[in-house]
Amino acid sequence: MRLMEDNKCCCSTQKNDFYKLDAILEKYQGKESDLIPILQNIQDSFGYLPQDIIEMLCSRTGMHPSQVMGVITFYSQFRLKPVGEKLIKICFGTACHVNGAETIAEALMDELGIDIGGTTDDGRFTLEAVACLGCCSLAPVMMIGEDTYGRLTPDMARKIIKSFYADRGEYVGKQ
């Protein structure tokens, strides 16, 4: 965290963001045993886990930064970078894998112009690979936000992405 210089905050996080953290810590009383739900609440509030907030969490709870980062990096649900407005999860479980998950991923990467783990330049989508979405009978499957799309083909995946842009009257993907 950057220090105060001339009474100006030099960090990327605003004062209101620290109030959000305080409210979360108050809810859980800053207990070390509640680290996972604390991190989940922080991520729900910010969309990811900002470095300044992690540092403040450690400072306010007395938890060691390596302990907190160990939890963050162990669980794939936690993100250290902002994600797009819509998170696309492509299932690579066994059923999806044998039914063409790789071709779905390739179509999405081509259509969006990003790799797995990347976010589109317009901030609209982040593409993520997951081990299983639990919809094996619909393989191959992807989720966009809370919506599940099954029995996909590469063309269907492309059309779904295009429909999100069409809903806004715009399109910046591959034409």
Tens digit of each residue's pLDDT (9 = 90 or more) over 19-74:
999 999 999 887 889 999 999 999 999 989 999 999 999 999 999 999 999 999 99
Beta carbons of 105 and 157 less than 8 angstroms apart: no
Residue range(s) defining the domain that contains residue 37: 15-74
Considering the domain architecture, whether residues 106 and 50 belong to the same structural domain is answered as: no
Q: Where residue 10 falls among pLDDT bands split at 50, 70, 90?
A: very low
Position 174 pLDDT exceeds 60: no
User: In this structure, are 69 and 93 located in the same domain?
Assistant: no
Number of domains, the chain: 2
SS3 of residue 100 by DSSP: coil
Q: Is 90 in the same domain as 157?
A: yes
Unique residue bearing structure tokens 């259509």: 111
Instruction: Kindly state whether residue 25 falls inside one of the protein's structural domains.
Output: yes
Whether 64 and 116 map to the same domain: the answer is no
* Contact between residue 133 and residue 97 where contact means Cβ atoms under 8 Å apart: no
- Cis (ω within 30 of 0) for the bond into 140? yes
> For residue 24, what are its two tokens?
């979360």
- Residue 105 forms part of a structural domain: yes
Asked whether residue 116 falls in the same domain as residue 57, the answer is: no
Mean pLDDT score of the chain: 89
pLDDT tens-digit series, residues 79-108: 999 999 999 999 999 999 999 999 999 999
* DSSP letter string, 8-61: B--SSS-HHHHHHHHHHHHHHTT-GGGHHHHHHHHHHHHSS--HHHHHHHHHHH
Contacts of 4 (CB under 8 A, 6+ apart): 10
Residue 64 and residue 102 in one domain: no
Residues 66 and 98 in one domain: no
Q: Coil, strand, or helix at residue 143?
A: strand
pLDDT tens digit string along 119-139? 999 999 999 999 999 999 999
- Whether residue 149 has pLDDT greater than 90: yes
Q: What is the CATH number of the domain that holds 99?
A: 3.40.30.10
Q: Which domain-ending residue is among 23, 49, 74? A: 74
